[in-house]
Each structure stands twice: as C-alpha cells, then as structure tokens.
Structure 1
Amino acid sequence: MGRHGVSLLSRRFRRLRGEHILCSARRRPARPQAGEVRPQIGSSQFRSGEMADRLSEVLESDDVEQLATDFVFTEGPLWHPEGYWLFVDIRRSLIFRIAPGGEPKVERDNSGGSNGLTFDLQGRLIMCEGDNRRLTRREDNGSISVFVDQWEGKKLNRPNDLVGRSDGTVYFTNPNGRIAPEDREIDFAGVHAVRPDGSQFVAIRDFEYPNGLVFSPDESVLYVANTRESKHIEAFDVAVDGTVSNGRVWADMSSDEPDGVPDGMKVDVEGRVYCTGPGGCWVFDSDGSNMGIIRLPEIPANVAWGGPDHRTMLFTARTSIYTMRMTTEGIHIPTS
C-alpha cells in the first residue's frame, strides 16, 4: 500500500480460448462469497460476431494491464510528453502521475475536485475544478492561476471536461447538475470556449447534460457526450472561427447495461470515436456505426491515448487505472 492508501499492484489480464484467466498476478483475488458475482476480468465482449470482428481492427490483443488500484473514483487521464500519465481521484481532490511500470505519485493535492485535464499550446496543464467551479492553469513556475471562472460576470456551473483546438482555443463542458438551483448563476448547461486572447464564447447552450467532448482529427466536427436520460453522442459542425452549428444525434448509447453513462471520449487518427459508457468503452467508426464495447474489470469513466508511439489506451475505471495496446494511433494533444 502506497502513500494516500493507493495500492501499487500491477496486474495483467488476458483472454485465452474463450476463458478469462488471470496471469502474471502479484496477488490472487479473494475467493467470491456465496451469492457474490464478480466481473469477468480482462474481457472484450461484443454484441455480435460482426462487431467482434470489427473491434479486432483496433485491439492489438485482449491483454489488459491494471497499473494501480485502491483509488475512490478515477478520471481525467492525460499523457505527458515527458513519458508519464496524469489522472485524478476526484473524490479525494488528488491529481496523480504514474510512469509505465512505475508507482503512482501525488502531483497535486487539494485540486478542487479536478476532473478533465489537458495542455495548452505552451504545454501548461489546464484543469477543470468542479468543486471550485472554475478552470485553472499550472504556470511554468508551478503556481496555479485561474484560467476562467465566470461567463459574463456569472460564476460557472461545474466544469467537467475539456479539449483544446490547434489554434489554442479551449472548449469545456459546463453542466449544471449537482448544483442547487438557488446557487446556479448560469441558467443553462452547455459548452463554453476560451480563445488564446482570453475572450470567451458559448459554443453550445441548452444541452441536457454535457460531459466528455472531443474533436474529429481535422477539427471539423465536435462530439459531445450526453450523460443523462437521453444517452447519446451529439455531433456539431465547427467553422473556421471555432463556432459550432448543426447539432445532431450522432450515436445512440442507450443500453440495458446497469452501470455506466456516456462520459469521456477520444478519437484515433482514422476518426473512430472511443466513448466510455454503459458496460465499458464503446467504439464507433467515423460514420457513427457501433463497432463494439471494450469491457474491463471495472466500468470506465474516461480514456486517453499515450505511450511513446501513442498506441496505448489508458482507462480510468472507478477504483483503478488500466491500459490496453491498440493497433491504431491516437490523436496527439496540440502543443507548440
């Protein structure tokens, strides 16, 4: 057990001849008690044989590696170009870093319930601080400054996730859930954007519950996950000036799965969209067709590309973080 009660366990799982087995484990899982149902470990299950074949296009293998566990609720994964992962434990307001094969170390404490993370063009870390209702930036000297905390003089709702555009504009979701109605100053949930000069505009307003968001590889489309009752991904056309229009339902994610909602998203270089959701991480082809669901030992909330070749996918999944190797390359976060 490491600092802050985090287990440093690294476990590798794989599927063999249809049976899910634990291999190279440093400890055995506890024997299930009577009546207890344990998740299948390291599985990749799909809705049909056709989907299984399609999903095999992006999975290098069925190996799933658990890098660390014993967190409370992991989120906000991000690959640092210096060769390590960043991620958050929201409910403990901690940001961690972990190198492949290394141990998790606290990067920042008292992080204001940080969730989504990204870099600006100068490589500075930008954080969505949900509890503090703002976005902050870590400066080159290590100090934390306010990136944005209001719109037209009104305090933000609860910033959730964010994505940067190659021109330096940062888009972030601003849902109004978990805020008492009397404490809301902005009366809609939407997507805001901050230009490099600090000016701000509302890209999308009156969205049911905006959560994860990501651009297509050419940045002509912005995808936004809707978390609440109508579980789906919406797509919006992006103009040269960064404004968006023509919102439409791009992919339906309604499901009978008991756990998970549309949440964090990423794309690969071929335009496929990876969105954590009910049952696991959903993979969609660039035309919106469902390729299948990557299932993990725990339900993931967010996902990120990383590794030296950008072909490793990291999943933040409840109490743990997991990685899988992919056949395709993920989109790099734009930095100068």
Structure 2
Amino acid sequence: MQSGIHIETVVDGLAFAEAPRWHDDMLWFSDFYTRKVTRLRMGGEPETVCEVAGQPSGLGWLPDGRMLVVSMTDRRLLRLDNDGLNTVADLSAVLPHHCNDMVVDHRGRAYIGNFGFDLLNRAAAQSTVLMMVDTDGSVRQVADDLLFPNGCVITPDHATLIVAETFGKRLTAFDIADDGTLSGRRVWAALGDASPDGICLDAEAAVWVASPPTSEFLRVREGGAILDRIVVPDQAIACTLGGPERRTLFMVTGRVSREQRALAERTGRIQAMRVQVPGAGLP
C-alpha cells in the first residue's frame, strides 16, 4: 500500500467477503463460503444476521427496513422477515448462471447482476442480462449484452444507474424511468486494464472501483480520469463509503478461489481509511 495513508483492519479471517454496505450505523457484508451475512458496529464484534445456503451476495433494504439478500447459486432474491428468509423472486429460469451483486432503489426495486458463464471453471466469457425485481416480486429484464454485470450504484437524484461490467472493463450508465426501466445506455468510464467488481459513489459524482486483477481501488470520474489509486496486497473485491458522515472507505480484499481453498486460507479482510469526499446515493 502507499505510504502516508492510514489504513486500519476492521475484520479479517474471512473466506470471501462481498457486498459491503453501511446501514443503520453498522457495516454489513456477505461471506460467500461461510454462507453468512454479518454486521459489525464499529468497535464491536461481528454478528451473524442470517445464513444463506445458496451463498449470499448483494444486500439492500426495503423502505420498511427489511433486508433483501441475493442467494447466488440457486438464483433467488430473499427477504429477511421476522420468521426468517423468504423468497421474493426466483430468477433461475431467466438467468444463465449464478446471481451476483445488487442495488436496491428508494422504492424497493432490486437490480441484480449475474455471472453469465461458469467463471470458476474458466468457461469463455459470455454477455448476459441485468434483471429488475419489482416491489410486487415480478421480474423484468432491463438491460442485455453486459459482460459480467457486477456492482451497481444509483445517483442521489434516483435518475441514473451505473453498473460495473467486470469483463467489459468499464462502467456503464443508464437513465432510470419512473417504472424502473432503463434507457440511454452509455459508457460512463472505460477502465483500461482494471476490471471493476464492487463499486460505490461519492458526493462529487466520482465512483470508487475495486479491481481484483490489478489489486487496487480506483476513484474514477465520468469519462475515465483516475483521481485516486490505492494499491493492496491481495485482490480488491468491493468497497463502500460509510462511517460518520460516510467519510470512511471500507475496502474488501481477498483472493478469488474455490470454496475449499478459501475456507482453508481465510485471506479475506475488510480495511478502512478516511477520505475527504463523503458517500452519496445508493447503496
């Protein structure tokens, strides 16, 4: 890591963490291979929120405060109710492979990405779709021809969705209509050698990008200018802005590997650093 930057470890010993979120004054995240959603109050101990047999990924919250979680391998969107996890939507018939990250808008609509191909068995990359689960549980395709749609953010005015195309090495933006449908597709930023995974948005409309293959977190302006770069020893997986005034950048790192190895090595961790520009928008 660069000298002169103060970075502290928040939690380590994770198998493979994803989808960090700041919600209700706590840091929340999924761990694929322990199959747990965890929350952590700063200065406290990690607390298991729920266990997801199909591997948890993207997290979000409905307007009434209930949590939504993506179940990856069985391709379902789940909701945590008082009686436990319940299925909101089954996407297995419309998605070709594992579900992935997600952003939930201010009305409770969930935009969910997916692998599109068998990544861990090194299948050839194929384009895929972005799905929206509406508030009534109905499912709609809102975009296609995306190369591994991954982390997503929504701008504070609720007008724009930005999605990380991991194998496209770009951030792609869409206009959001009142009914949640997307249009006006455009390349928000081409990222060169970087492959975006998890992303978050700040109040200057810049996007922090985690890039696993280049082991760095990048702060990117629309058009592709890189404003900041944080190099890390392991792969950069995801990030979110939270903490007091949303001025803490939480950075998830680890190594993409198969379940058995990830559980044995436990290289996943979440680190934090103070930034000048606070977070904005969703998630």
1:80 to 8, 19, 23: 23
CA deviation string 1:92-147 (max 9, x = no partner): 212222221222233223442111111111111111111221111101x1510112
Counterparts of 1:116 and 1:154, CA distance in 2: 18
Does residue 248 of the first structure (1) align with residue 186 of the second (2)?
A: yes
CA contact (8 A) 1:217 1:271 kept: no
Mapped partners of 1:158, 1:109: distance in 2? 18
Q: Percent identity?
A: 30
Give the structure with the higher percent strand: 2
Cα displacement string for residues 192-217 of structure 1 (whole angstroms, at most 9, x for unaligned residues): 11222323221101212111111223
CA distance in 2, matches of 1:160, 1:320: 19
- Whole-Å Cα distance in 1 between the matches of residues 235 and 95 of structure 2? 32
- The answer to whether structure 1 residue 238 and structure 2 residue 199 are counterparts is no
1:320 CA displacement:
0.6
CA contact (8 A) 1:316 1:322 kept: yes
Matched, 1:165 2:105: yes
Which residue of structure 2 lines up, in the alignment, with residue 264 of structure 1? 198
Which of 274, 284, 309 aligns to 2:208? It is 274
Q: Quick one: which amino acid aligns to residue 313 of structure 1?
A: L
Q: Secondary structure at the match of 1:157?
A: coil
| Contact 2:54/2:74 (8 A) holds in 1 | yes
* Count of residues paired in the alignment: 264
CA distance in 2 between partners of 1:111 and 1:331 (Å): 32
Match of 1:9 in 2: none
Q: Map of 1:6-155 to 2, 5 A cutoff?
A: 40=1, 43=2, 62-81=5-24, 83-139=25-81, 141-150=82-91, 154=94
- Quote the offset at 1:163 in angstroms: 0.8
Change (3 A) 1:110 1:127: closer
Q: Which residue of 2 aligns with 1:196?
A: 135
Q: Distance in 1 between matches of 2:37 and 2:53?
A: 7
Structure 1 length-normalised TM: 0.71
Residue 99 of structure 2 aligns with an amino acid whose one-letter code is P
User: Which structure would you say has the larger Rg?
Assistant: 1
Question: TM-score if structure 2 supplies the norm length?
Answer: 0.84
Gaps of 5+ in 1: 1-39, 45-60, 181-186
C-alpha distance in 2 between matches for 1:282 and 1:154: 33
CA contact (8 A) 1:161 1:172 kept: yes
- Kindly provide the CA deviation profile for residues 291-330 of structure 1, in whole angstroms up to 9, marking residues without a partner as x: 1322234332111122232221211111111111121221
Aligned-residue RMSD, C-alpha = 2.5
C-alpha separation between the residues in 2 aligned to 1:301 and 1:79?
16
Measure how far apart 1:332 and its partner are: 5.3
Task: Give the secondary-structure state (helix, strand or coil) at the position aligned to 1:161.
Answer: strand
Query: Partners of 1:326 and 1:161 in 2: how far apart?
Result: 24
Of the three residues 112, 117, 120, the one matched with 1:177 is 117
Residues 189 and 221 in structure 2, CA contact (< 8 A), matched pair in contact too? no
Name the CA distance, whole Å, in 2 between partners of 1:136 and 1:117: 10
1:181-239 per-position Cα deviation (integer Å, ceiling 9, x unaligned): xxxxxx962111122232322110121211111122323222111112x3111122223
Match of 1:35 in 2: none
Is residue 154–residue 282 contact of structure 2 (8 Å, CA) maintained in 1? no
Q: Which runs of 5+ in 2 are unaligned?
A: 121-125, 255-267
The letter for the 2-side match of 1:147 is V
8 Å contact from structure 1 (residues 238, 245) kept in 2: yes
Specify the alignment match of 2:123 in structure 1.
none
Residues 95, 111 of structure 1: 8 Å contact kept: no
CA distance in 2, matches of 1:286, 1:267: 11
Q: Structure 2 vs 1, CA of residues 172 and 110 (structure 1 numbering), >3 Å: closer, same or farther?
A: closer
